[in-house]
Structure 1
Amino acid sequence: MKKSALYFTNKSRETLLLLILCFLFNFSSAQEVLDKLKEQYDKVSVTNPERLIVAGKYATALFFNQQEVKAGQILKDNIQIASRLPDGKYAANLYAIEAMNYRISERIKESKSSFDKAKEFASKSKDVEIKGYISYCEGWLYTRNNKEGEAVRSFLRAIRYFDQAPPSRTLNSRKSTTYKELTSIYANWNEHQLQEKYSLLALDLAIQQNDPIAIFDAYMLMGYMYEQQYIKNDTNHKLRDQAEKYYLLAINTYNKNKATIPFPSNLSFVANNLAYLYFSFFPDSYQDQAIQYAELALKQGAATQQYTHVASAYGIMAEIALKNKKPERAKAYLLSALMEITKSSVPDQNIILSIYENLSEIAEQENNLAEAIRYHKVYMETFKSIYNQEQLELGKRLEAQFDKERQQQQLIRMQLETDKKEQQLRLLHTVSLQQKQQYENLKLHEENQRKELELTQLESEKRTQELKLSRLETQNRAQDILSFKNEISYKEKINKYYVALILFFLLVLLLMLYAYKQRSKSMRQNKELYNFSLDKERQNSKISILTAMLDGQEQERGRLARDLHDGLGGLLSTTKISLSQLTNKVDSPMKNDMQKSLLQLDTAVEELRRVAHNLMPDLLNRYGLEEALQDYAVRMSNVELDIDVQFLHYSNQLTKDEQLLVYRVIQELVNNAIKHAAPKQIIIQIVEEADYYTITVEDDGKGFDIDQVKGNHSAGLHNIQSRIDFLKGKFTIQSEKDVGTSVEIIFPKK
């Protein structure tokens, strides 16, 4: 019987699947995670950048729950919002997720396009972590394209970025996932030292995070790594014992944290590995442990519908039964394994082939030739179907092997570069030691200078003693000159009187100068107050002129609207009635022309009404600004243009004149956008705050050069500025070519 055929077939596949699952989910089952992410996504405001981060996680969860269309739509909607933000990290993150989703769906061209956009937006961001994440995604794509050498370079670059990034909620999970990818590649290359290095890094990171899921995964990967090394070197029993140790640590971690680890399928995977390890590589005295963990794998695999795990557990138990000379029990286990593997949505044909071969051998040993022949026939049919497929894949494997050897050569070159850098580091260390020695020399020099200073102080004290002696001699001489001082004291008093008189005159002069300066200061303040009053009067005059001008414009608009509606409108309606009456009296050839004329008159009347309404909107006077703008948005919207009006905290406290000014400003901005920018969407937002109003008009049109427009001194901007000056407000314009324009107006409440 072929040993462990059921078990080893799926090992590498299970490991890769496990890494993907651990990357996707952290704290609950798939549906619970999906519901939780949906709740978070709906709860966060559209204007909050946090929504873009939640959108990436939500789209990923939807994609792996077979809701690819919805996931793609959520990504596209949020990418449009993220692309307009100044920081490119949000758009880069969403484009990277979209690229990986496309790659899993085998849409190679779309995946490359999305990843190129992710790199473009990442280059515009100063966020170091997003640059590392884009490098990780690049390595992930290289791995799936069988370019493991390029993948390793990308993963190492990602780790360098992550090491430079400040702490965040996602940093450690992204770094851990990168370690696991490197572990998988180095395992394929049989680079056990590097595999062990990054496995230990993943384990240390998981322990630092105190994350039971990550710790469980790290223990499982470490056990699998040592098991594979022991299979290649079965004389080193330390490797076998290390594999057993980490598998047991993984199972103990799961048992202690059942409530927070939602992956019992991973437990069945580890239990199968440990059962096979005890059965194949330990003495027969460990057979009870092998059966114990095989039964654990059987129980957990059945509970989680992991039919491949169940089949593997039955296979191990069948081998134990055969070893104990119990063919009937082995046959029952193999038939159970066959039944379980066929429940899988994609059953592994190699496992089925092994089962039929083993059943045929057992039947032959029992001299049941008919049954042995029947199982052998099924075995041959399965083998032929697999053989044809393997022949097609043989060329691919050979090509992959060539790429692998080439990638190993690249790894050797990378290791040489690493050695070179280590030599440079050692050289830098030597330089550092030299600098340290120089520092010690400077300290010794400083100590010498301190002692010289002490010697100087002693000499100074000696000179002080000599000075005291000189003072005694001076006192004797002072007695001699005391009489001389008495003689000149009278003269000094006279001089003091003169000095006092001079000081008095100087004080009077200073007081006069002070009084002069105070008077000059007062005159200057009066002049400034006069200038301020004059400026205020000019401002009031300007506002009065602007008010009169705006009132005149609105009166003229109203008169034109009434004249157009009452005069030209009535004339067109009368003409339409006359033509309608003539239509029934003319012949058929002329009737079609008359109908076309009537349609043209209808169009003219509708256009006349639209022009009159724009000149003087009745809804503004009747119902206020909100209804007028909603009506204006509906009238200006069409198939190619969507205008959305939003009022936030608006209490309708603006006066009629203020509402009209706001309406005219928004009307001018929307007309300019439609005329010059060719947008697909315009968003008008009016927000009432405690002390002021904020008006924002955004479009996704062509954009323009702000400096160039300001230099042209356009009449439209002048009209807008005039109305905003009347409101005592200010406005700012932000525009970028091929992205769009955003105008923000702020004016105070009265």
Structure 2
Amino acid sequence: MFHSFKSTLFLLTIFWCILFCTSTAVYGQEILTTYKEQYDKTRPGSPARFELVGKYAQALFFQEKQQEATQLLKENISIAEKQEDKANAAYLYAILAMNAQLNENVTEAKKSIKKALDYVQQIDVDEIKAYVNYCHGWMYVRDNQEAKAVQSLLTAVSYYEKAPQSPTKLSRLSATYKELTSIYASWDDYELQEKYSKLTLDIAIKQNNPNALFDAYMMMGYLYESEFAQNTNNIYARDLAEKYYKKAIKTYENNQEVIPFRSDLAFVANNLASLYLRAFPKQYNEQATYYANLALQQAQETHQINFQASSYGILAEIALQQEDSKAATSYLLSALSAINSTHLPDKNTLLSIYESLAQLNEREENYLGALHFHKLYLQTYQSIYNQDKLEISRRLEAQYEKEQQKQQLLTLQLSSEKKEQQIQLMKTLGLQQQQELENLKLSEENQRKKLEISQLETETHAQALKLSQLENDNKLLDIQHFKKTLSYQEKVNSYFLALALVFAILLFVLLYVYKQRTKSMKQQKELYNLALEKEKQHAKIATLTALLDGQEQERARLARDLHDGLGGLLSGTKIQLSTLQHKITDANKIEMTKSIEHLDNAVDELRRVAHNLMPDLLLKYGLEEALKEYANRMSTDQLDIDVQFLGYTHTLQQDKQLLVYRIIQELVNNALKHASPQQIIIQLVESDNSYMVTIEDDGCGFNLEQVQQSKSAGLHNIQSRVQFLKGEFHIHSEFNLGTSIDFQFPK
């Protein structure tokens, strides 16, 4: 009845768990002041200042002082770039890129991380190389490029493993493991998620850092809770989740002065209470109530409204299971009051509370109250829907306006550049014209003076006047020649401008062609790698096929040799002894009879061995009849083997039937040899697209990790056959409870 509210609380828990496991540390004003004092005491350009400036800049960023953080980083980057060793420049550029990414300045982020990666190629400091690759992977995660993120993060891990010990190495390696854990958690790859969660825990234990231990225990608890959510029959994962959540709470209680955020305790307590309520029997409701009240107390003291609502919701579920509707209603109303006390209440949580209250009132036949809360539910649902539509509309409008502004700015920049070029050209022409005018004025002045002199000396200097006229003619020719030269130079400048433009266009075309060619070569390389990997898989399958065929042929040959050769010999011996039995004395007849019985037993054992090597029933009547005959033959007074076929249509190919028979035969023999079971169940279920085979026994069980480490040949053969069937193989075993093995393969 209250399933929706319960689901909402569980989703809220998952959200907070991811947040706490992956987010960076919260910097308070006190920490910011401490970093500033330490920063002011260090010398500019010193290693101590470069190490401190990263922490100081991040502290400023998380105190909403992004501009100050960016300015601080750029000032120190300019100093670091002047140094011969570029390690500090790479380190600061990586932090600048992360801050820009968080500030949604994608262009600046990409530019900064590129600079950091360029400087990484020039240094030999493995820890700085690792940190830059970690930052690159971190940015890929935020850009939803998780495959590339994994590559960068694994590169960072390899550099960290080669780097010498330092005060920061373990904490940075732990951050890298946490990012990998988050990625594999989103991919539902529990094996790798568990691997990196455990590595994070190992580092926390080495550091002996309560904060790191608390985070690691929370991650491990969440990991196993997720595995249990996927398979509610996995009690082992449930118990591990409980164990690690309890360890996190104990770590907090023993180190309260070092772990200052009490909301962390509220978060873990809510998770543990929810686990007891959902996954454990009802007798654990007392523990669920205890941890829900603990979470509620801490959430109230730290004013964590969402945690309070989660605690009230869990308490309401417990009261409902105890059929205490009044208490359940009270807890739900308290959750509603807590959520409404915030300025921006979580409408999804409100939606769940209203729905639960409406259902509870309807159950109590308070139809007026049920109608009231149902109306509130509809109003809240409509507001969420309208708000989502408005948010999408605003986001699209903002994106459109932003793109439009970018286009306008680009147009204005191009227009401004063009006008500036025109102005420069006009200034040049103006200077040339001004120079020409001054030359003309000087020439005119000279002509005027010469004319005055010639007029005064007209009578006495006739020859001089003629000479002056000739000089004037020459100067006019020079002026005309100068004008022609100037016109020619203007044309040449125009030609050069046109050639430069053509050259720029050609250069752009060549760059575009080169980029396309590089992209095409990269795609061809990727296709080649895929084809090579596919060919390797084909070769591996062919080798495995040949190996299995060889094994079966050898088994068939041995079966024929035993049956036709040794079997005939034993039968002939029995006939001869039977003939001699009438010819010997009565005293020896008893011994002769025992010998004949031993021969009968030997013949039966020979037939059993030959049948195990090559089951004739499988070839004649199929897998179902062969397995039932095998189970009947292996069953004894102390052992019951039951074979079940569900939905089987007898369409499985004969070579696959033989592989399945061999796998089941090997598993049953292993159970008889090592587990001492009293009952074995063999079940084959055929579905539309696949076959599922399960073998269960009630034997003593075994340690799966020890078996995998021992690299058993029998287990390797089974896995090889399942791999040949393109199937999946799973083992679950517990001491004194038995073993369940299943494998699934497609049709």
Residue of structure 2 equivalent to 1:286: 284
Contact 1:6 1:311 in 2 (8 A): no
Q: 1:115 aligns with which of 89, 113, 125?
A: 113
Alpha-carbon distance in 2 for matches of 1:263, 1:37: 20
Q: 1:13 aligns with which of 7, 15, 36?
A: 15
Alpha-carbon distance in 2 for matches of 1:203, 1:50: 29
Residue of structure 1 equivalent to 2:25: 24
Residue of structure 1 equivalent to 2:741: none
SS of residue in 1 equivalent to 2:123: coil
Taking structure 2 as the reference length, the TM-score comes to: 0.51
Q: Which has the higher contact order (CA 8 A, sep 6+)?
A: 1
Contact 2:45 2:76 in 1 (8 A): no
Contact 1:5 1:351 in 2 (8 A): no
Residue of structure 2 equivalent to 1:79: 77
Tell me the CA shift for residue 30 of structure 1.
Answer: 2.5
SS of residue in 2 equivalent to 1:315: helix
Determine whether 1:167 maps to 2:169. Answer: no
Cα deviation, 1:35-86, whole Å, max 9, x if unaligned, reads: 2212211221224221122111011012112222222222222222222222
Tell me the CA shift for residue 18 of structure 1.
Answer: 1.1
Cα deviation, 1:124-174, whole Å, max 9, x if unaligned, reads: 222111111111111111111111111111111110111111111111111
Alpha-carbon distance in 1 for matches of 2:153, 2:387: 33
Tell me the CA shift for residue 376 of structure 1.
Answer: 1.1
Tell me the CA shift for residue 389 of structure 1.
Answer: 6.2
What percentage of aligned pairs have identical amino acids? Answer: 47
Alpha-carbon distance in 1 for matches of 2:221, 2:279: 14
Contact 1:24 1:61 in 2 (8 A): no
Alpha-carbon distance in 2 for matches of 1:342, 1:89: 51
SS of residue in 1 equivalent to 2:233: coil
Determine whether 1:267 maps to 2:268. Answer: no
Alpha-carbon distance in 2 for matches of 1:129, 1:169: 11
Contact 2:86 2:123 in 1 (8 A): yes
Residue of structure 2 equivalent to 1:319: 317
Alpha-carbon distance in 2 for matches of 1:143, 1:56: 21
Alpha-carbon distance in 1 for matches of 2:223, 2:178: 12
Residue of structure 1 equivalent to 2:382: 384
Going from structure 1 to structure 2, the CA distance change for 1:38 and 1:209 (only over 3 Å counts) comes to same
Residue of structure 2 equivalent to 1:248: 246
Cα deviation, 1:595-615, whole Å, max 9, x if unaligned, reads: xxxxxxxxxxxxxxxxxxxxx
Count of equivalent residues: 401
Alpha-carbon distance in 1 for matches of 2:346, 2:273: 21
Going from structure 1 to structure 2, the CA distance change for 1:316 and 1:221 (only over 3 Å counts) comes to same
Tell me the CA shift for residue 347 of structure 1.
Answer: 3.6
What do you get for the CA RMSD once the two structures are aligned? 2.8
Contact 1:176 1:205 in 2 (8 A): yes
Alpha-carbon distance in 2 for matches of 1:30, 1:61: 8
Tell me the CA shift for residue 8 of structure 1.
Answer: 2.0
Alpha-carbon distance in 1 for matches of 2:201, 2:269: 20
Residue of structure 1 equivalent to 2:301: 303
In structure 2, give the amino acid aligned to 1:11.
T
Alpha-carbon distance in 2 for matches of 1:342, 1:182: 37
Q: 2:200 aligns with which of 191, 199, 202?
A: 202
Going from structure 1 to structure 2, the CA distance change for 1:342 and 1:141 (only over 3 Å counts) comes to farther
Q: 1:132 aligns with which of 130, 133, 147?
A: 130
Q: 2:148 aligns with which of 150, 163, 167?
A: 150
Going from structure 1 to structure 2, the CA distance change for 1:19 and 1:38 (only over 3 Å counts) comes to farther
Going from structure 1 to structure 2, the CA distance change for 1:196 and 1:358 (only over 3 Å counts) comes to same
Alpha-carbon distance in 1 for matches of 2:231, 2:116: 44
Alpha-carbon distance in 2 for matches of 1:344, 1:374: 22
Tell me the CA shift for residue 289 of structure 1.
Answer: 0.7
Alpha-carbon distance in 1 for matches of 2:220, 2:88: 35
In structure 2, give the amino acid aligned to 1:150.
K
SS of residue in 1 equivalent to 2:256: coil
Going from structure 1 to structure 2, the CA distance change for 1:392 and 1:140 (only over 3 Å counts) comes to farther
Alpha-carbon distance in 2 for matches of 1:111, 1:284: 52
In structure 1, give the amino acid aligned to 2:106.
I
Alpha-carbon distance in 1 for matches of 2:22, 2:64: 15
Tell me the CA shift for residue 20 of structure 1.
Answer: 4.4
Tell me the CA shift for residue 188 of structure 1.
Answer: 1.0
Residue of structure 1 equivalent to 2:224: 226
Unaligned runs of 5+ residues in structure 2 are 396-525, 541-747
Write out aligned runs for 1:161-560 (5 A).
161-344=159-342, 347-387=345-385
Cα deviation, 1:451-474, whole Å, max 9, x if unaligned, reads: xxxxxxxxxxxxxxxxxxxxxxxx
In structure 2, give the amino acid aligned to 1:264.
R
SS of residue in 1 equivalent to 2:84: coil
Write out aligned runs for 1:51-62 (5 A).
51-62=49-60
In structure 1, give the amino acid aligned to 2:232.
D
Alpha-carbon distance in 2 for matches of 1:63, 1:304: 24
Residue of structure 2 equivalent to 1:141: 139
Alpha-carbon distance in 2 for matches of 1:232, 1:97: 38
Contact 1:179 1:198 in 2 (8 A): yes
Alpha-carbon distance in 1 for matches of 2:77, 2:98: 15
Going from structure 1 to structure 2, the CA distance change for 1:268 and 1:367 (only over 3 Å counts) comes to same
Contact 2:10 2:274 in 1 (8 A): no
Tell me the CA shift for residue 290 of structure 1.
Answer: 0.5
Going from structure 1 to structure 2, the CA distance change for 1:280 and 1:107 (only over 3 Å counts) comes to same
Contact 2:266 2:298 in 1 (8 A): yes
SS of residue in 2 equivalent to 1:141: helix
Taking structure 1 as the reference length, the TM-score comes to: 0.51
Going from structure 1 to structure 2, the CA distance change for 1:388 and 1:189 (only over 3 Å counts) comes to farther
Alpha-carbon distance in 2 for matches of 1:270, 1:93: 35
Cα deviation, 1:182-231, whole Å, max 9, x if unaligned, reads: 11111111101000000011111111111111111111110111011111
Contact 2:22 2:179 in 1 (8 A): no
Alpha-carbon distance in 2 for matches of 1:5, 1:338: 17
Alpha-carbon distance in 2 for matches of 1:73, 1:394: 34
Alpha-carbon distance in 2 for matches of 1:270, 1:334: 21
In structure 2, give the amino acid aligned to 1:327.
S
Residue of structure 2 equivalent to 1:33: 31
Contact 2:94 2:113 in 1 (8 A): yes
